[in-house]
Amino acid sequence: MLKILIADDFPLFRRGVKDLLSDGLGAVTIEECGNAHDLFELVRRKKWDVVILDISMPGTAGTDALRQVKAECPKLPVIILSMHPEDQYAVRMFKAGADAYLTKVSAPEELVTAVKKVVAGGRYVNQSLGEQIVHLLQRGHEEQPHERLSDREYEVMRLLASGKTVSDIAERLHVGTTTVSTYRARILEKLQLKNNAELMRYALQQGIE
């Protein structure tokens, strides 16, 4: 019997994922958690066949939770479920060790297939994401400025662009405001922007949510 851990901060969404998995896989053991602390504790204490992980867990951000899960259990398959389109995070997540990346919109049609694939030792990439990865590889020299940001810089950029203050971001990421301000300065320098208004405009032009 497959043992699956769902890590997402929305209880209603976790319930929907559980129903999908139960309907598609039959007899499975499913547990759930809503924050990074509980996620890491459950990964340490129990053996799982697969973890289904939200990209924006409270207590962590971006690829951090994924990297820590993989550090604890390198062979444990992790499927990323995200509200963000593939072109914004998928490549970063695969580089950090993800075994599959699905948007929450596509999850109803693809989640069960993805679970079967990663449990069997493979990686799951849907057609849309596969085409985008090929496009990125072919584009090469046309890399956009934000694609050169580190994972943490990218996450801070996205939060700033959404209107979050330095204090909001510091609380969300569990770091000091000085640290966030340092990230902000690096981001503006790398993107050659002057202030948050220009950053918001850049994010809008690039379709970054």
- 19 and 49 co-located in one domain: yes
The CATH number assigned to the domain holding 178 equals 1.10.10.10
Domain count, the chain: 2
Last residue of a domain, one of 86, 110, 137: 137
Spans of the chain, pLDDT less than 50? 141
Per-residue pLDDT tens for 154-202? 889 989 999 999 999 998 888 899 999 999 999 999 999 999 999 999 9
pTM exceeds 0.95: no
Per-residue pLDDT tens for 92-104? 888 889 999 998 8
The CATH number assigned to the domain holding 73 equals 3.40.50.2300
CA distance 157 to 188: 9
CA distance 6 to 50: 9
Last residue of a domain, one of 86, 106, 137: 137
- The whole domain housing 186 covers 145-206
Percentage of the chain lying above the pLDDT 70 cut: 90
